[in-house]
Amino acid sequence: MRRTLPGTRALRTFEAASRHLNFTRAAEEVGLTPAAVSYQIKEIEDQLGIVLFARTSRSIQLTPAGAVLFEAVGEALYTLQRAVSRAGRLQRGSAQLSLSLGARFATNWFLPRLSAFQAANPGVKLRFDISDEMRDFDVDDVDVAIRFGDGRHDGLCSVRLFDTIVVAVCSPKRLEAGSGFQSPADLMRQTLCYRQWRRGDLVWPNWQMWMTAAGVEDFDDSGAVAFADTSHVVQAVIDSGAIGLADLAMIATDLAEGRLIRLFDVGVRMAGDHTYHLVYPESRGGDTGIVAFRDWMLAAAEDQRQKLERFAVEEDRTQPAPDPHRS
DSSP structure string for 67-119: HHHHHHHHHHHHHHHHHHHHHHHHHH-TTEEEEEE-HHHIIIIIGGGHHHHHH
Mean pLDDT of 132-159: 87
Q: Is 319 helix (H, G, I), strand (E, B) or coil?
A: strand
- Residue 314, pLDDT above cutoff 50: no
**45 against 322, higher pLDDT:** 45
Q: Would you say residue 179 has pLDDT above 70?
A: no
The DSSP annotation for 128-145 comes to EEE-SSPP-TTTSS-SEE
Q: Please give the CATH topology (third level) of the domain spanning 8-89.
A: Arc Repressor Mutant, subunit A (1.10.10)
pLDDT digits (tens, 9 = 90+) for 239-292: 988 999 999 999 988 888 889 999 998 999 988 778 999 999 998 888 888 999
Residues of the chain with CATH 1.10.10.10: 8-89
CA–CA gap between residue 270 and residue 195 (Å, rounded): 13
pLDDT tens column, 103-133: 889 988 999 999 999 999 998 899 999 988 8
pLDDT higher than threshold 70 for residue 322? no
Confidence at 74, pLDDT banded by 50, 70, 90: confident
pTM: 0.70
Residues of the chain with CATH 3.40.190.10: 165-273+308-320
Q: Is the CATH code 3.40.190.10 the one for domain 165-273+308-320?
A: yes
Residue 270: CB atoms within 10 Å: 21
